[in-house]
Amino acid sequence: MVAEFKPRDTVERLLAVQMAATHVAMVRSARWLANAENVDQVNAHYTGYNKLARTYAAQVETLRKHRNGGKQTVRVERVNVESGGQAIVGDVTTRGMVEDEM
């Protein structure tokens, strides 16, 4: 599983190992949840599964941010400009707002 991530550096390798372990734990937790016999077991296993799923999602996001340097890219494929409207064609870069601008 770690090899499938194709880690590019040590940080990515470490994160891939954590993600693999989280995934295995999540699958086990799902099995326990599926075999729960009473409400207390369902609640316990659901809580654990939910935490693991959120952790895994956070790890995926961390890997994505690490790989692209924290930059977010939005690509617009099609734009319709109605009569009287204006559009910008090309790259647009913005900076965050400063407190004085708010």
**Residue 9 contacts by C-beta under 8 Å, 6 or more apart in sequence?**
none
State the chain's mean pLDDT as an integer: 88
Residue 70, pLDDT score: 72
Q: Say yes or no to pLDDT of 63 above 60.
A: yes
Residue 91, pLDDT score: 76
**Residue 62 zone, left/alpha/beta (φ > 0; ψ -120 to 50; rest):** alpha
Q: Say yes or no to pLDDT of 49 above 80.
A: yes
Give tens-digit pLDDT for 11-35.
999 999 999 999 999 999 999 999 9
